[in-house]
Amino acid sequence: MAPLGTALIEPRRRTIDRLAQAAPDGSLPDSLQQHTHDPILLTALQTIAALPLGIVFLMITKPSLLGALLVMAIALVIGMASGLLVARTTPANGQHGATEAESASKLVG
């Protein structure tokens, strides 16, 4: 989990932090919104969240080595699949702004 966090999450977190510090007050700039909806970041976060669940399951059930490897492979696949699902359902860059503009025009008109 540590290499995944160091290699994939931390550089993206630093970029988001830097862009957030430089962003003016008000709505999010497109570059910051794009970085917060990065599919690699979302998938890595979901995967890192699923792996400890597999570890807790191993601590409770204490399976054989083959069973433990199978459980961790399943946890990895579940984490990656849920991350890809979240990344696919997150609005793409530009879609979020269009939705807000459409909502505002409906309220006015």
| Average pLDDT score over residue span 40-50 | 89
Q: Is 106 or 80 the better-scoring residue by pLDDT? A: 80
Q: Nearest-CA neighbor of 38 among 62, 69, 14, 56?
A: 14
- CA distances, 16 to each of 13, 39, 70 (Å): 5, 14, 35
pLDDT-derived band at 100, boundaries 50, 70, 90: very low
Mean pLDDT of 84-101: 62
Tell me, what's the pLDDT at 99? 47
**Which pTM does this prediction carry?**
0.68
The domains of the chain are located at 2-108
